Structure 1
Amino acid sequence: MHDHAPSLVRAAGPSYFPIALVARMPYAMMVVGVLTLVVAGRDSLAFGGLNSAVVGLGAACVGPLLGAAADRFGQRRVLLVSGLASATALGLMAWVVYSPLPAAAVLAVAFLVGASAPQIAPMSRSRLVQIIGARIAPGRRSRTFDSTMAYESAADELVFIVGPFVVGILGTTLDPWAPVAGAAVLTLVFVTAFALHPSALAAAGRDEDALPPAPVRDLFRPAVLAVVVGIFGVGLFFGAMLTSLTSFMADHGRPASAGLVYGVMGIGSAALALGVALFPSSFSLRARWLVFGATMLAGAALLPNVSSVAAMCAVLLLIGCGIGPTMVTQYSLGALRSPVGRSATVMTILGSAVIVGQSLASAVTGELADRFGTSTALFVPIAAAGVVVLAGMANRVLSRPVPPRDPARPDLELTPTRPVLTSS
């Protein structure tokens, strides 16, 4: 009966996925690009780091508001406005750093860079979930949803590996302002293309026939907050791990290699994230969170005992095998628990929670490394992984009981207005 129902690629359009992938690249280039630019223009590593943190702060403060606006007015309008504002802010950043204006002006523009950053990744997730509910045959929705969340997480990790690499190439071969200018051009071209893509109509905001959006208080339900805290823990882990690893590599005389070694974690993470789509439906989301969160924690517990770079790579590979599936699971739960008409809001809140956690843990871990050394700093990732596991335990308690499984029905039903999980 559903033999002729479209696949997600056909439903979204074959050009959707490459456009959405490149459109999220500027977001991955902004923080490192601003750091490179400010260090070169103002000759201060500390001031460069402060500006990078302010970029993250701007994105965290305004990101959820952009998501709420997209739920209310549709993604197309919000992305066109934020894309133009972002490209303008990036151009302004390239100018103000070399201008005679004081440090406060540079910080103000850095905040604008983060605040105007188009929230492509969460809006892509929200858009695809709505397409799955509207266009995919009911019997295939569960598997399609799992595959989509896995792909989206892997795509995020890919651009956050490639983005800093592109910044490094442009900054060294051309000029320190080139990465920021390049991000502005990519934003104008690909964010605009993403906004104008026909798939945006699937997430065009509520109309007269749609259900009214759920009240804002539904965003603060315990089941939603458990996911926010869990993904905040992942953000804490990212910040703590990169900062403590930088200290570890400096102790071994190779501080410049910290990013390369950190990338090892992304190998296992991306591979297992993509593999989530192959998990049986009997392996529930709440169980996945606990299993892979525990894998993160077990790997992190080994960090204080690591003495060589090779051993560190092995431990990071293990930790990555836990991080990828954990993030996929958290984003899946976020999508499934989004109140009616609030999916873009929830997705941007989750993305912002990662940034806030990363910024906070970077600052705390850096301070501990400076004062007490690498051995102390390496305990912070353990605490961060502990937050992930504790939130997973809370999620298990908050998940509603699983009804007896009917093999004739899919374990996941998605409607255009609200996703419903029957096996969380």
Structure 2
Amino acid sequence: MHHPSTASGRSSLIAHTGWAYWPIAFVARLPFAMMTVGVLMLVVHATDSVGFGGLTSAAVGIGVVIAGPIMGDLVDRHGQRRVLVPVGLANGILLALFPLVATAEAPPGVILAAALAIGLTGPQAAAMSRSRLLAIVAARIAPQRRTKTTSRLMSYESAADETAFVIGPFLVGILAALIAPWAPIAVAAALSFGFVLAFALHPTARLLQSRADTAAERAAFRAVLTPSMLVLVAATFGVGMFFGAALTSLTAFARAAGDEAQAGLLYGLMGIGSAVLALGVVLLPARFALRHRWLAFAGVLTAASVGYATSSSLGVVAGWLLVMGLGVGPTLVTLFSLAGERAPLGRSATTMTLLSSALTLAQALAAAATGWIAEEVSLGVAMVVPALAAAIVLSLGVVNVAIARRGRAAPARPAADVAVDEAWRHDGTDERARAR
């Protein structure tokens, strides 16, 4: 990041985004990270039913998944600004109204419909940020620096996701405890109005606007639904399952140990290790291929999850949570890096929203299912669910290697080549051969 070359060739993304972009893009993720847990806590408090709370939380996740690919497609066609401004406003309004719906003894169907609407308008800032920054790398960063810059970018974005996924539920718990159960949803609404709109209107969105308007070629939506892409979506779903199951089983464990308040702090331990190692992935040598990283880090995650499942004290749990963090952060970076490489031409927003949607849906469903298991079956079984999720991620890593071997006969073009193509197309020239 220290190359004193021309502005257009500098490897520093900050030169092209400005400093303000990064905190805005980070805080814009928080409503998304807060809404599933916030809805769960508010509905449980209002209805005194953990089961219905889990169902409502799952409705938010289902809404996110239905809307995710549609939103990604609209963004790839019309640019982020035209999509995110109305979505951010709608989400803020729906979040602001939800505490009134939940506490007014509304029929269950109305509460579920309101939760679904919150999910449908969920502003996918994380996916949009990845897509936006990948476009800037393609258009503005010198070709020889693109691979390194993309690697750093994916590490940062995954670390930011990890941090948001930890801070979101943590904020929900603190605000609910200090103020009232409706407070987290009210804060999420305020953040949606403020930061999601600021993110949508940031000057970096203009580049994508012009690219969306002029994109003559764009891969068909079905190009995203290839085995090599779907294995990434499935694995990201597995990581989401892990997040939801870990948070819920940990809360149940802490409650059984008589210290429920510690669950958020313990979950934070996993988040710290996870975010630090997600950022550290850029230091790994290039010859340590992404498909092998997936196997290695998912292996660490699975082993630590088995340790966690067999823990009997909060101290032992804390130790295993730290190790789990060391596995989950780099796994998530690897999955999103592979998605960045494999995204079809003009489909980066669609690809990133598919992965983000899978992560969110799985988190909501796993939280609901694990909560039910902890209450109705046993705490011990609930503690096993994160290990099951980790094993799924690891086995999909093996499937990914098999798909990659089968595809060697007709290998996909590397991301750098696609980025060069897009950059030359954006410049209105056709000198791809020279660029390669």
TM-score, structure 2 normalization? 0.88
Task: Give 1:209 shift.
Answer: 4.5
Say if 1:336 and 1:357 are closer, same or farther in 2 by CA, change over 3 A. Answer: same
- Contact 1:30-1:180 at 8 Å conserved across structures: yes
1:289 is aligned with what amino acid?
Answer: W
Structure 1: 5+ residue stretches without partners: 404-409, 420-424
Aligned pairs (5 A) from 1:375-414: 375-399=380-404, 400-401=407-408, 412-413=416-417
- Contact 2:21-2:202 at 8 Å conserved across structures: yes
2:257 equivalent in structure 1: 252
1:21 equivalent in structure 2: 26
- Contact 2:55-2:368 at 8 Å conserved across structures: no
Aligned pairs (5 A) from 1:121-270: 121-204=126-209, 206=211, 209-270=214-275
1: CA distance between counterparts of 2:195 and 2:183?
Answer: 18
2: CA distance between counterparts of 1:371 and 1:39?
Answer: 16
2: CA distance between counterparts of 1:172 and 1:255?
Answer: 12
1:310 is aligned with what amino acid?
Answer: G
The one-character-per-residue Cα deviations of 1:157-193 (angstroms, maximum 9, x if unpaired) are 2222222333334334444333222222221121111
1:18 is aligned with what amino acid?
Answer: P
- Contact 2:64-2:361 at 8 Å conserved across structures: no
1:57 equivalent in structure 2: 62
- Contact 1:293-1:326 at 8 Å conserved across structures: yes
Say if 1:301 and 1:163 are closer, same or farther in 2 by CA, change over 3 A. Answer: closer
> Percent of aligned positions with the same letter in both sequences?
47
The total of aligned residue pairs comes to 413
2: CA distance between counterparts of 1:245 and 1:172?
Answer: 18
Range moving further from structure 2, 198-207 or 22-31: 198-207
Aligned pairs (5 A) from 1:234-313: 234-313=239-318
- Contact 1:299-1:318 at 8 Å conserved across structures: yes
Q: Secondary structure at the match of 1:383?
A: helix
Range moving further from structure 2, 296-305 or 128-137: 296-305
Task: Give 1:288 shift.
Answer: 0.8
1:3 equivalent in structure 2: 5
2:434 equivalent in structure 1: none
1:261 is aligned with what amino acid?
Answer: L
1:407 equivalent in structure 2: none
1:366 equivalent in structure 2: 371
Q: Secondary structure at the match of 1:339?
A: coil
2: CA distance between counterparts of 1:41 and 1:372?
Answer: 24
- Contact 2:58-2:365 at 8 Å conserved across structures: no
Say if 1:42 and 1:177 are closer, same or farther in 2 by CA, change over 3 A. Answer: same
Structure 2: 5+ residue stretches without partners: 424-436
1: CA distance between counterparts of 2:168 and 2:42?
Answer: 15
Q: Deviation above 6 Å: which 4+ runs of structure 1?
A: none
1: CA distance between counterparts of 2:136 and 2:418?
Answer: 9
Task: Give 1:388 shift.
Answer: 0.7
1:36 equivalent in structure 2: 41
The one-character-per-residue Cα deviations of 1:321-342 (angstroms, maximum 9, x if unpaired) are 1100000000111111111111
Task: Give 1:381 shift.
Answer: 2.0
Task: Give 1:194 shift.
Answer: 0.9
1: CA distance between counterparts of 2:369 and 2:328?
Answer: 21
1: CA distance between counterparts of 2:306 and 2:172?
Answer: 33
Task: Give 1:85 shift.
Answer: 0.8
Range moving further from structure 2, 123-132 or 95-104: 95-104
- Contact 1:70-1:344 at 8 Å conserved across structures: yes
Task: Give 1:78 shift.
Answer: 0.4
Query: Does 1:87 pair with 2:89?
Result: no
2:56 is aligned with what amino acid?
Answer: N
Query: Does 1:415 pair with 2:419?
Result: yes
User: Aligned match of 2:331 in 288, 304, 326?
Assistant: 326
- Contact 2:128-2:353 at 8 Å conserved across structures: yes
2:5 is aligned with what amino acid?
Answer: D
TM-score, structure 1 normalization? 0.90
- Contact 2:31-2:189 at 8 Å conserved across structures: yes
Q: Secondary structure at the match of 1:280?
A: coil
2: CA distance between counterparts of 1:155 and 1:322?
Answer: 16
2: CA distance between counterparts of 1:92 and 1:382?
Answer: 37
1:90 is aligned with what amino acid?
Answer: L
Task: Give 1:113 shift.
Answer: 1.0
2: CA distance between counterparts of 1:373 and 1:92?
Answer: 36
The one-character-per-residue Cα deviations of 1:84-140 (angstroms, maximum 9, x if unpaired) are 111111122132223353222122111111111111000100110111111111121
More helix per residue: 2
2: CA distance between counterparts of 1:290 and 1:381?
Answer: 17
2: CA distance between counterparts of 1:374 and 1:167?
Answer: 23
Task: Give 1:364 shift.
Answer: 3.4
1:204 is aligned with what amino acid?
Answer: Q
